[in-house]
Amino acid sequence: MSPILEKLKQEGLIKLLKEDLDKNRPLGERFGITAIPSILFFKNGELLNHPIEIQGQMLVRNGLMVGASGEAVMREIISKM
């Protein structure tokens, strides 16, 4: 996912922040992250509060990505934010 996210960042579609949760466990706990890597989506500084479903599959719930995706799906998620 990292190369895809970096590409979307370079295109100006997203801002990308990476955090080492081994060094910042409280952050992971705050957002309920139980698996690494995890992707969280924020809009206007707030955790995305609506689910995103693509082709009948729930991919983002409570701001957290819950499914795997490629570049096309990531672009669709961004468009639905």
pLDDT one-digit tens code per residue, 40-68: 999 999 999 999 999 999 999 999 998 77
Structure token digits, residue 48: 């995305």
| pLDDT tens digits along 18-35 | 999 999 999 999 998 988
> Model pTM?
0.86
CA distance 79 to 41: 12
| Confidence at 75, pLDDT banded by 50, 70, 90 | very high
